[in-house]
A and B are shown apart, each in its own frame.
Chain A
Amino acid sequence: MRIGVFVCRCGTNIAGTVDTQAVAARALASPDVVYATELLYTCSEPGQQEIQNAVLSHRLQGVVVAACSPRMHELTFRRAVEKAGLNRYMLEMANIREHVSWIGQDKAANTEKAVELVRMAVAKVRRNEPLFGSQVPLTKRVMVIGGGVAGIQAALDCADAGLDVVLVEREPTIGGKMAKLDKTFPTIDCSSCILGPKMVDVAQNENITLHTATEVESLSGTIGNFTVTLRKKAVYVDWDACTGCGLCMEKCPSKKHPDGFNEGLATAPAIRIPFPQAIPKKAHIERSACRYFTTGKCRVCQKICPVGAVRFDMEDRQVVENVGAVIVATGYDLFDPAAYGEYGAGRYPDVITGMQFERILSASGPFGGHIRRPSDGREPRDIVFVACVGSRDKSVGRPYCSGVCCMVIAKQAILARDHLPEARCYVFYMDIRAPGKNYDEFVRRAVEEYGVQYIRGRVGKIYPKGDRLVVQGADTLLGAQVEVEADLVVLATGVEPSRGARELAEKLHISADTHGFFMEGHPKLKPVETNTAGIYLAGACQGPKDIPASVAQGSAAAAKVLALFARDSMTTDPQTAHVAEKVCIGCGKCLTVCPFGAIQWKTLRDGTKKAQVLETVCQGCGLCNATCPPKAVQLRHFTDDQILAELEALCA
């Protein structure tokens, strides 16, 4: 075989601590290496050109590039050698940057290690074989998981481009957190007024299949061909019949159950339509609140329903959808402030969360849009807002900034002053984060036009005094402990990933970070992709963000999917496992160990069973290869032969 070795200087990134010229020179000592050189920037156009020229002029059959991590440019170099006429899998990379030059300053030791890595790569490429992916048709359907504003935007963009969209939402209605907001910053647009039309578009769009009160149970397959099993939860109302008239809600006798939509500040009947603009506008029954389910008596709703839509015998059912791509937009939840015992959240009724205050402000909220204290219904005169409750605080495991609360507080303070012109608002803050368009000006408005008193310092304790509350904090600009007596205290609680995010990440085979936010492919350059091909991210599930950023990511993810589906078929990755049937003993260990369910039984003509790999499902992890006792299963491009050749080159 004729092998060429190209050692990259990467400017001074590699050359600074590795003698690249020596590495190239010593590469020639390996048998079959007929050409070796160093390059300044191999990934650049001239660099790639040089490799292609060398392939042609030296009739190379295999190429080794000693440079950065393959995660950076393996694809670049594969394409380059392919253009020069080689099969793209006749290329190997030796990582002499992340694994060598970036680790230490000892040039001699680094150079030795680089030489060894090149020798190993040469030994491997010598045993590489040309591989060819196959063309598989793409299923041009996309699943969007999560019906908040990011998911809605993604779904609409895909549907408008003509794609089939399956939108899955675990609540009975779409809308997410945005549907719970009163007004949005910095324009003070009414949230449901701007979201509502989009929600209706989703309902009316012919290309969108909407599954609400539905969760993802499992996902298998690979990019272009995923099989997703959904669990549609029993809502105990036939939505094909239900007209959303609301009569059942009026007559339901069980009215004392706390209402999640109103953050526990109001109660709702057991059978309910979540809110007036709900999509779909259908009723569902909360089992734990329903008298029939808990005591066996009642059924008033069933009797009263004019179309007989109530079905107590409904059960969960499964639905299987085949899609070519998935966009995850599962949003966020809010930190539980009970962790701060010194604030009394949960103990004192007038210490509430930002979301609870949002519901109080809302005209469809618990007090009809009038700001009242939960304890006695009085209008508050002094309202204190506390920033960073469960953000920027490593003592409660939340070291990050939630990004939106500074703006939410300014908005809520402005709205409070709007509703109650006699009210006085105070904000305890550490810093103000207002980076967006017109954001900083908005916060200044709160201070200058609406007279909100901003106090720089955290709050140490909140305690009741009579029927009011005392907020004991600090003004670090003055260097003093300060006290503010309040009628109502609003805690700006931090953003955390949606409940169940980690479990969903496992099902989808995507990664989540330490806090549970899903991991993007690259923090700078791939904000809406994951490391799992075909699965994209949008919105707060990837990290705290505001509505414009969520909407932007929804559209961005849609663009990625549309690009994917621009062709009619995909080339599969040939780096999959393959079973040598004659060697296979039919023990079944590989079936058990495969995390993706990519191996199945194949029965031969004589009745013996052998393992068979489903190439479109196989992700190329190699567990089966490692597990197989007779080594019948081999992972193409990472066979035992190839890997052991590398080890022998190292140990020689």
Chain B
Amino acid sequence: MPMNDRVAYYPGCSLEGLAVEYDVSTRAVCRALGLSLVELNDWNCCGSSPASLYDPMLSATLAGRNLLLAQEARLDTVMTPCPGCLKALKGAIKTRDAHPQALAQALGRPLSERVHAVSVLQLLYEKVGPGALAQAVRRSFDGLPVVPYYGCLLTRPQAVAGFDDPENPVSMDRLLEAVGCAVADFPFKTECCGATSAMTRSDIVVRLSGRLLDMARRLGARAIIVACPLCQQNLDLRQAQAEKAMGTRFGIPVFYLTQVIGWAVGLPAQDLGLDKLIVPGKGVLPDPEPTEPSES
């Protein structure tokens, strides 16, 4: 899908709170790579799973209001770093295509066919690309072994995501390689971390995330790179719980893709929210001094 250079930005509720570093690093990286993000004015919660529990139209309406904001700002592409929000936005678009009247009535006005939604991974991969990214690198990771963890929603199912591969996606792998990481062949790229069960059944999260951490360790990874706030929380915040349940120590930091890319292109630590990591990232990231002055 063609993307304009000015892109509407929808952070989503978790990026205001528990995943604030994802927001901060996304903005910093996009600015550094020449992508112009325009935060949607007065955006609202997309409704996530609770909305669709009650009624799929509720989800379409809450998410749809944000698409309308983009439409009014004359922006066709809405980018969100959160795959959960992306699912709700795409669901609203699907409802627009299937029941345009009903949605228009709920929202108060019709939603244009030109508005579409993408993830930050898709934006970086398609608008910037591994080649251009490699050129922009000021601090290479010099072969740091990592695993790319896409999570269950970014590329699945194919018909909804319309991006990369649902079983063995490679977009994040290529971007990480471009910044010098040694990306392991991770068989659990799209296996679920436990997602929204975090609140009500943390034991499920501990089991599923523990499995991911265990495989990452087996492959010799020194960091896990993610592109979803829920994945990051489950693997980072609850890493200690997984360690306790499995009777082991992992000590594997979990970075957002945008933090890693930001670091590689020379952005300072405070622009990337690196201090927010629970499992420390120090000692894993390369030398704090960039080789050339960073762009700002």
Binding site for B on A (CB under 8 A): 340-342, 344, 347, 461, 463-466
Contact = CB atoms under 8 A, between A and B. Distances in A.
A466 B187 CA distance: 12
B167 interface: yes
Nearest to A340: B167
B167 A341 contact: yes
B218 interface: yes
Interface string B152-188: 0000000000000111100000000000000001011
A461 B165 CA distance: 15
16 contacts: A340-B167, A341-B165, A341-B166, A341-B167, A341-B168, A342-B167, A344-B187, A347-B168, A347-B185, A461-B187, A463-B187, A463-B188, A464-B187, A465-B215, A465-B218, A466-B218
Nearest first, the 5 A-B pairs at minimum CB distance are A341-B167, A463-B187, A341-B168, A342-B167, A464-B187
- Interface on chain A toward B: helix, strand, loop, or mixed SS? mixed
A390 to B, nearest CB: 15
B159 to A, nearest CB: 11
Nearest to B188: A463
Contacts of B188: 463
Nearest to B187: A463
Contacts of B166: 341
Nearest to B168: A341
A451 B258 CA distance: 53
Give the one of A341, A347, A466 with max B CB within 10 A.
A341
Contacts of B187: 344, 461, 463-464
A464 B218 CA distance: 10
B160 to A, nearest CB: 15
Interface in B223-240: none
A435 to B, nearest CB: 34
B163 to A, nearest CB: 15
Contacts of A463: 187-188
A463 B165 CA distance: 17
A448 B185 CA distance: 40
B78 to A, nearest CB: 29
A344 B166 CA distance: 13
Interface in B185-223: 185, 187-188, 215, 218
A344 B167 CA distance: 9
A174 B76 CA distance: 60
Given A341-B168, A342-B167, A463-B188, 13 more contacts: A340-B167, A341-B165, A341-B166, A341-B167, A344-B187, A347-B168, A347-B185, A461-B187, A463-B187, A464-B187, A465-B215, A465-B218, A466-B218
Contacts of A341: 165-168
A337 to B, nearest CB: 12
A246 B165 CA distance: 47
A344 B187 CA distance: 9
B284 to A, nearest CB: 24
Nearest to A469: B187
A461 to B, nearest CB: 8
Interface string B76-96: 000000000000000000000
B193 to A, nearest CB: 16
Give the one of B168, B185, B187, B218 with max A CB within 10 A.
B187
A573 B187 CA distance: 64
A18 to B, nearest CB: 43
Contacts of A344: 187
A504 to B, nearest CB: 33
A466 B215 CA distance: 10
B109 to A, nearest CB: 38
Contacts of B218: 465-466
Nearest to A342: B167
A6 B163 CA distance: 64
A544 B188 CA distance: 36
B174 to A, nearest CB: 16
Contacts of B167: 340-342
Contacts of A466: 218
B190 to A, nearest CB: 9
A458 to B, nearest CB: 15
A468 to B, nearest CB: 12
Contacts of B215: 465
B168 to A, nearest CB: 4
A544 B102 CA distance: 49
B183 to A, nearest CB: 14
Contacts of B185: 347
A464 B166 CA distance: 18
A235 to B, nearest CB: 39
A466 B217 CA distance: 11
Nearest to A338: B168
Nearest to B191: A461
A464 B188 CA distance: 10
Contacts of B168: 341, 347
A340 B67 CA distance: 35
Contacts of A342: 167
Contacts of A347: 168, 185
Nearest to B185: A347
B50 to A, nearest CB: 28
A342 B166 CA distance: 9
Nearest to A343: B167
A340 B166 CA distance: 10
Nearest to A341: B167
Nearest to A470: B187
Nearest to B169: A341
A344 B189 CA distance: 13
A340 B218 CA distance: 24
A466 B166 CA distance: 24
A349 to B, nearest CB: 12
A648 to B, nearest CB: 50
A347 B184 CA distance: 13
Give the one of B165, B166, B168 with max A CB within 10 A.
B168
Contacts of A461: 187
A466 B188 CA distance: 14
Interface string B42-82: 00000000000000000000000000000000000000000
B149 to A, nearest CB: 14
B248 to A, nearest CB: 16
A425 to B, nearest CB: 23
A371 B187 CA distance: 26
A464 B165 CA distance: 19
A179 B168 CA distance: 35
A231 to B, nearest CB: 39
Contacts of B165: 341
A46 to B, nearest CB: 60
A342 B189 CA distance: 11
A518 B259 CA distance: 57
B214 to A, nearest CB: 10
B155 to A, nearest CB: 11
Nearest to A344: B187
A342 B155 CA distance: 14
B10 to A, nearest CB: 30
A463 B147 CA distance: 15
A584 B188 CA distance: 73
A340 B165 CA distance: 11
A344 B218 CA distance: 18
B231 to A, nearest CB: 18
A464 to B, nearest CB: 6
A396 to B, nearest CB: 12
A466 B218 CA distance: 7
A341 B167 CA distance: 5
Contacts of A465: 215, 218
A461 B189 CA distance: 12
A627 to B, nearest CB: 44
B227 to A, nearest CB: 19
A461 B152 CA distance: 14
A465 B168 CA distance: 17
A211 to B, nearest CB: 43
B204 to A, nearest CB: 14
B225 to A, nearest CB: 19
A292 B168 CA distance: 39
A347 B165 CA distance: 15
